[in-house]
């Protein structure tokens, strides 16, 4: 439950009404398929954590953890490839 609140805060930080200088150093969790940050903790416990992407439906234990500035670079590169 605490993780879900964390993710919510990430989303709020992703779309801030006012930019803050510390955001570029913030670590965020990203879906490996669609690069969405809307990840929900699906299962958590002894077997490990499984996340679910709210955008593409990906469910699995592998997620990307990147810093905000790396994430923005990732999105840019992805756009250039398409
Ligand atoms: Zn996704």
42: CA distance to ligand 1 center in Å? 13
Instruction: State residue 54's pLDDT score.
Output: 97
Say whether pLDDT at 80 is over 70: yes
40: CA distance to ligand 1 center in Å? 11
Retrieve residue 82's tokens: 């398409």
Say whether pLDDT at 8 is over 80: no
Please enumerate in sequence order all residues whose Cβ is within 8 A of that of 64, keeping only pairs 6 or more positions apart, or say none: 29, 30, 31, 32, 35
Q: What is the 3-state secondary structure (H, E, C) of 24-48?
A: HHCEEEECCCCCCCCEEEEECCCCC
Tell me if 32 sits within 8 A of 66, measured CB to CB.
no
Retrieve residue 81's tokens: 């490839």
- What residues have a C-beta under 5 A from ligand 1, the ion? 31, 33-34, 36, 53, 55-56, 58
pTM passes above 0.75: no
The most distant pair of C-alpha atoms in the chain lies apart, rounded to whole Å, by 40
Percent of the chain with pLDDT over 70: 71
* Domains of the chain, residue spans: 2-81
């Amino acid at each position: 439950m605490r993780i879900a609140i964390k993710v919510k805060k990430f989303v709020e930080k992703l779309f801030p009404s006012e930019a803050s200088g510390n955001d570029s150093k913030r670590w965020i969790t990203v879906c490996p398929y669609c690069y969405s940050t809307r990840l929900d903790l699906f299962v958590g416990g002894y077997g490990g954590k499984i996340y679910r992407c709210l955008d593409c439906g990906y469910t699995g234990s592998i997620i990307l953890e990147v810093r905000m500035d790396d994430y923005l670079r990732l999105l840019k590169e992805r756009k250039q490839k398409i």
